[in-house]
Amino acid sequence: MSLAEATRTSGSIDAAAFRLSAGAAGTLSAEGPLSFATARDACALGIAALTAAGGRTLEIDCRGITRSDSAGLAVLLEWLAAARRCGKSLHYTHLPEGLAALARISEVQELLERGV
């Protein structure tokens, strides 16, 4: 299964919920709320995308995240752990300020910025 297929077929997440869109090779765009209400599906969607990614390096552009909370932060951390388990490199770009602030308070900002 290709990265694009995984982002289309993993889970049944409606348009009002969180989604990942495949971009250029090795790039995904995160869009919508990444919160307690969407965390379970978002986590599964991201892990499926990581598993399907053909390359060893993946970037997730987070500028499309419209709302986030501690559950959303946990999802980003779980994706980093999943990438490490798969032997892949993952990093995030354009973290929304609220999510970056939550990461600072939780003392995981450096991990999110550095990736794995």
pLDDT by residue (tens digit) across 90-109?
Answer: 999 999 999 999 999 999 99
All domains in the chain, ordered by first residue: 3-114 (3.30.750.24)
Amino acid, single-letter form, for residue 108: V
pTM (two decimals): 0.84
Predicted pLDDT of residue 16: 55
Structure tokens at 99: 């999510």
Q: List, as one string, the DSSP characters of 72-115.
A: HHHHHHHHHHHHHHTT-EEEEES--HHHHHHHHHTT-HHHHHH-
Mean pLDDT (whole number) for 13-28: 77
User: 30, 18 in Cβ contact below 8 A?
Assistant: yes
User: 80, 108 in Cβ contact below 8 A?
Assistant: no
